[in-house]
Homo-oligomer: A and B are copies of this chain.
Amino acid sequence: MKRSEMKVKKKKEDIILSAIAIMNRQGTKGATMEQIAAELLMTKGSLYYYFRNKEDLIFQCHVLVLSRANEDIQQVVSSDKSYEERLREMIALHIDYAINEKETFNMIIRPDKTFAEDQLQPLFEKRAIYSRFFDEIIERGIESGEFEKVDVRMVRMILLGAMNWIQQWYKEDGKKSIEEIQQVYADYLIKLLK
Protein backbone atom coordinates (compact mmCIF):
# COMPACT_ATOMS: atom_id res chain seq x y z
CA MET A 1 0.00 0.00 0.00
CA LYS A 2 1.34 3.38 -0.93
CA ARG A 3 1.97 6.25 1.40
CA SER A 4 -1.05 8.19 0.19
CA GLU A 5 -3.36 5.23 0.57
CA MET A 6 -2.15 4.76 4.09
CA LYS A 7 -2.94 8.35 4.84
CA VAL A 8 -6.44 8.05 3.54
CA LYS A 9 -6.99 4.89 5.52
CA LYS A 10 -5.72 6.58 8.64
CA LYS A 11 -7.98 9.56 8.11
CA LYS A 12 -10.96 7.32 7.55
CA GLU A 13 -10.21 5.58 10.79
CA ASP A 14 -9.93 8.85 12.64
CA ILE A 15 -13.29 9.88 11.34
CA ILE A 16 -14.84 6.55 12.20
CA LEU A 17 -13.49 6.74 15.73
CA SER A 18 -14.90 10.20 16.25
CA ALA A 19 -18.18 9.15 14.75
CA ILE A 20 -18.45 6.16 17.05
CA ALA A 21 -17.81 8.33 20.07
CA ILE A 22 -20.50 10.81 19.17
CA MET A 23 -23.01 8.28 18.01
CA ASN A 24 -22.84 6.37 21.23
CA ARG A 25 -23.24 9.55 23.15
CA GLN A 26 -26.26 10.76 21.21
CA GLY A 27 -27.56 7.91 19.16
CA THR A 28 -27.33 7.38 15.47
CA LYS A 29 -29.91 10.00 14.62
CA GLY A 30 -28.63 12.39 17.22
CA ALA A 31 -25.12 12.56 15.85
CA THR A 32 -24.86 15.08 13.05
CA MET A 33 -22.31 15.07 10.31
CA GLU A 34 -21.49 18.61 11.37
CA GLN A 35 -20.54 17.53 14.86
CA ILE A 36 -18.47 14.64 13.68
CA ALA A 37 -16.60 16.93 11.35
CA ALA A 38 -16.14 19.59 13.98
CA GLU A 39 -14.66 17.10 16.43
CA LEU A 40 -11.90 16.49 13.89
CA LEU A 41 -11.53 20.12 12.95
CA MET A 42 -12.74 19.39 9.46
CA THR A 43 -15.70 20.74 7.57
CA LYS A 44 -18.85 18.86 6.77
CA GLY A 45 -17.90 18.80 3.13
CA SER A 46 -14.67 16.97 3.82
CA LEU A 47 -16.48 14.11 5.45
CA TYR A 48 -18.24 13.52 2.20
CA TYR A 49 -14.94 13.20 0.50
CA TYR A 50 -14.27 10.10 2.56
CA PHE A 51 -17.74 8.69 2.97
CA ARG A 52 -20.54 8.66 0.47
CA ASN A 53 -23.14 9.54 3.06
CA LYS A 54 -24.05 9.19 6.67
CA GLU A 55 -25.29 5.66 6.27
CA ASP A 56 -22.01 4.63 4.73
CA LEU A 57 -20.11 6.16 7.62
CA ILE A 58 -22.24 4.38 10.19
CA PHE A 59 -21.79 1.13 8.35
CA GLN A 60 -18.03 1.46 8.30
CA CYS A 61 -18.07 2.19 12.01
CA HIS A 62 -19.70 -1.13 12.67
CA VAL A 63 -17.36 -2.97 10.35
CA LEU A 64 -14.25 -1.56 11.98
CA VAL A 65 -15.34 -2.27 15.51
CA LEU A 66 -16.51 -5.78 14.83
CA SER A 67 -13.36 -6.66 12.95
CA ARG A 68 -11.17 -5.48 15.78
CA ALA A 69 -13.19 -7.28 18.39
CA ASN A 70 -12.90 -10.53 16.48
CA GLU A 71 -9.16 -10.15 16.13
CA ASP A 72 -8.74 -9.51 19.83
CA ILE A 73 -10.87 -12.37 21.01
CA GLN A 74 -9.21 -14.74 18.59
CA GLN A 75 -5.91 -14.11 20.34
CA VAL A 76 -7.34 -15.32 23.59
CA VAL A 77 -9.17 -18.27 22.13
CA SER A 78 -6.13 -19.69 20.42
CA SER A 79 -3.89 -19.84 23.46
CA ASP A 80 -3.16 -23.21 25.04
CA LYS A 81 -4.40 -22.55 28.53
CA SER A 82 -7.19 -24.51 30.16
CA TYR A 83 -10.68 -23.81 28.88
CA GLU A 84 -11.74 -22.26 32.15
CA GLU A 85 -8.70 -20.04 32.02
CA ARG A 86 -9.44 -19.03 28.48
CA LEU A 87 -13.08 -18.35 29.25
CA ARG A 88 -12.04 -16.19 32.16
CA GLU A 89 -9.81 -14.20 29.87
CA MET A 90 -12.56 -13.84 27.32
CA ILE A 91 -14.86 -12.56 30.02
CA ALA A 92 -12.23 -10.11 31.19
CA LEU A 93 -11.64 -8.90 27.67
CA HIS A 94 -15.32 -8.48 26.94
CA ILE A 95 -15.88 -6.58 30.16
CA ASP A 96 -12.92 -4.42 29.39
CA TYR A 97 -14.53 -3.57 26.08
CA ALA A 98 -17.87 -2.95 27.70
CA ILE A 99 -16.45 -0.49 30.13
CA ASN A 100 -13.40 1.10 28.59
CA GLU A 101 -14.57 1.18 25.03
CA LYS A 102 -18.18 1.59 25.82
CA GLU A 103 -18.68 3.65 22.75
CA THR A 104 -17.33 1.18 20.25
CA PHE A 105 -18.76 -1.64 22.25
CA ASN A 106 -22.35 -0.69 21.64
CA MET A 107 -21.69 -1.11 17.97
CA ILE A 108 -20.80 -4.71 18.59
CA ILE A 109 -23.80 -5.64 20.60
CA ARG A 110 -26.60 -3.58 19.23
CA PRO A 111 -27.49 -3.87 15.57
CA ASP A 112 -28.59 -0.76 13.76
CA LYS A 113 -31.97 -1.14 12.18
CA THR A 114 -31.34 1.53 9.64
CA PHE A 115 -29.31 -0.70 7.38
CA ALA A 116 -30.50 -2.27 4.21
CA GLU A 117 -30.49 -6.03 3.97
CA ASP A 118 -27.31 -6.28 1.94
CA GLN A 119 -25.38 -4.19 4.40
CA LEU A 120 -26.83 -5.97 7.37
CA GLN A 121 -25.60 -9.35 6.20
CA PRO A 122 -21.84 -8.84 6.63
CA LEU A 123 -22.42 -7.26 10.01
CA PHE A 124 -24.50 -10.17 11.22
CA GLU A 125 -21.83 -12.54 10.07
CA LYS A 126 -19.13 -10.78 12.02
CA ARG A 127 -21.29 -10.74 15.08
CA ALA A 128 -21.97 -14.43 14.65
CA ILE A 129 -18.28 -15.13 14.47
CA TYR A 130 -17.75 -13.35 17.75
CA SER A 131 -20.45 -15.43 19.40
CA ARG A 132 -19.04 -18.62 18.02
CA PHE A 133 -15.76 -18.06 19.80
CA PHE A 134 -17.62 -18.33 23.08
CA ASP A 135 -19.58 -21.37 21.96
CA GLU A 136 -16.41 -23.04 20.89
CA ILE A 137 -14.66 -22.65 24.20
CA ILE A 138 -17.70 -23.79 26.13
CA GLU A 139 -18.18 -26.85 23.92
CA ARG A 140 -14.58 -27.89 24.04
CA GLY A 141 -14.56 -27.32 27.77
CA ILE A 142 -17.49 -29.68 28.10
CA GLU A 143 -15.83 -32.27 25.88
CA SER A 144 -12.65 -32.07 27.92
CA GLY A 145 -14.63 -32.56 31.09
CA GLU A 146 -13.68 -29.18 32.47
CA PHE A 147 -17.24 -27.94 32.21
CA GLU A 148 -20.47 -29.65 32.99
CA LYS A 149 -22.89 -30.37 30.14
CA VAL A 150 -25.11 -27.33 29.45
CA ASP A 151 -27.24 -25.78 26.78
CA VAL A 152 -24.34 -24.01 25.11
CA ARG A 153 -26.30 -21.38 23.26
CA MET A 154 -28.39 -20.44 26.27
CA VAL A 155 -25.42 -20.15 28.53
CA ARG A 156 -23.53 -18.07 26.01
CA MET A 157 -26.51 -15.74 25.82
CA ILE A 158 -26.61 -15.43 29.57
CA LEU A 159 -22.90 -14.68 29.71
CA LEU A 160 -22.98 -12.05 27.03
CA GLY A 161 -26.18 -10.46 28.31
CA ALA A 162 -24.86 -10.21 31.83
CA MET A 163 -21.63 -8.62 30.65
CA ASN A 164 -23.17 -6.28 28.13
CA TRP A 165 -25.29 -4.85 30.85
CA ILE A 166 -22.35 -3.70 32.90
CA GLN A 167 -21.87 -0.53 30.94
CA GLN A 168 -25.34 0.59 31.97
CA TRP A 169 -24.44 0.81 35.60
CA TYR A 170 -20.66 1.01 35.82
CA LYS A 171 -19.25 4.21 37.21
CA GLU A 172 -15.61 5.05 37.51
CA ASP A 173 -15.98 6.19 41.06
CA GLY A 174 -18.19 3.28 42.03
CA LYS A 175 -17.59 0.73 44.71
CA LYS A 176 -15.97 -1.82 42.48
CA SER A 177 -12.90 -1.42 40.32
CA ILE A 178 -12.84 -2.88 36.86
CA GLU A 179 -10.55 -5.65 37.99
CA GLU A 180 -12.90 -6.56 40.78
CA ILE A 181 -15.82 -6.67 38.43
CA GLN A 182 -13.93 -8.85 36.01
CA GLN A 183 -13.04 -11.16 38.87
CA VAL A 184 -16.51 -11.35 40.39
CA TYR A 185 -18.23 -11.81 37.06
CA ALA A 186 -15.86 -14.55 36.00
CA ASP A 187 -16.41 -16.37 39.27
CA TYR A 188 -20.17 -16.19 39.11
CA LEU A 189 -20.46 -16.92 35.44
CA ILE A 190 -18.11 -19.87 35.55
CA LYS A 191 -20.45 -21.25 38.20
CA LEU A 192 -23.01 -21.78 35.48
CA LEU A 193 -20.66 -24.27 33.88
CA LYS A 194 -19.63 -26.21 36.95
Using a Cβ–Cβ cut-off of 8 Å, how many residues does chain A contribute to the interface with B? 34
Complex interface: chain B residues within 8 A of A163 (CB)? 161
Alpha-carbon distance between A81 and B17 when the two chains are bound, in angstroms: 51
Contact of A109 among B27, B157, B168 (CB under 8 A): B168
- CB pair A25–B157 under 8 Å, yes or no, is no
Distance in Å: Cβ of A60 to nearest Cβ of chain B: 20
Interface of A is mostly: helix
- CB pair A113–B162 under 8 Å, yes or no, is no
Flag A154-194 by CB within 8 Å of B: 1 or 0 each.
Answer: 11011111111110110000001000010011001101100
Q: From A30, which residue of chain B is reached at the shortest CB distance?
A: B29
Q: From A156, which residue of chain B is reached at the shortest CB distance?
A: B169
Complex interface: chain B residues within 8 A of A188 (CB)? 150, 154-155, 158, 192
Complex interface: chain B residues within 8 A of A160 (CB)? 165
Q: Which residues of A contact B (CB under 8 A)?
A: 25-30, 109-111, 113, 150-151, 154-155, 157-166, 168-169, 176, 181, 184-185, 188-189, 191-192
Residue pairs across A and B with Cβ atoms less than 8 A apart, 19 shown, are A25-B113, A27-B27, A29-B29, A29-B30, A155-B188, A157-B165, A157-B169, A158-B162, A158-B165, A158-B188, A158-B189, A160-B165, A161-B162, A161-B165, A161-B168, A162-B162, A164-B165, A165-B165, A191-B191
